[in-house]
């Protein structure tokens, strides 16, 4: 995927059924860091921006955000 033609998925679509948008931000940041570390180990390959890749992975449900149950 080329980020020049990137269409952002809706945060609501990615985060359906979750409690906190903060959890989404933290999960995407952590996954983007993992992608960056992997990119440093694989020289010569061209990748999209790590944050865009992470957002796409969450949008495609490749990764799940686990949250504790909240007792009201």
Domain count, the chain: 1
Residue 17's CB is within 10 A of a number of other CB atoms, namely 6
Flag whether 54 is in a domain: yes
Flag whether 38 is in a domain: yes
pLDDT digits (tens, 9 = 90+) for 14-55: 666 666 778 888 999 999 999 988 888 876 566 688 898 898
Flag whether 68 is in a domain: no
Its domain, for residue 15, covers 3-59
Q: Is the pTM of this model over 0.75?
A: no
Flag whether 67 is in a domain: no
Mean pLDDT over residues 58-65, rounded?
Answer: 85
Residue (of 15, 24, 9, 23) closest to 56 by Cα position = 9
Task: State the pLDDT at residue 18.
Answer: 60
pLDDT of 4 over the 90 cut: no
């Amino acid at each position: 995927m080329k980020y020049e033609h990137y269409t952002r998925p809706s945060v609501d679509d990615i985060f359906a059924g979750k409690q906190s948008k903060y959890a989404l931000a933290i999960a995407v940041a952590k996954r983007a860091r993992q992608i960056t570390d992997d990119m440093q180990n694989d020289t010569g390959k061209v990748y999209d921006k790590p944050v865009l890749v992470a957002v796409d992975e969450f949008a495609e449900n490749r990764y799940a955000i686990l949250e504790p149950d909240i007792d009201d």
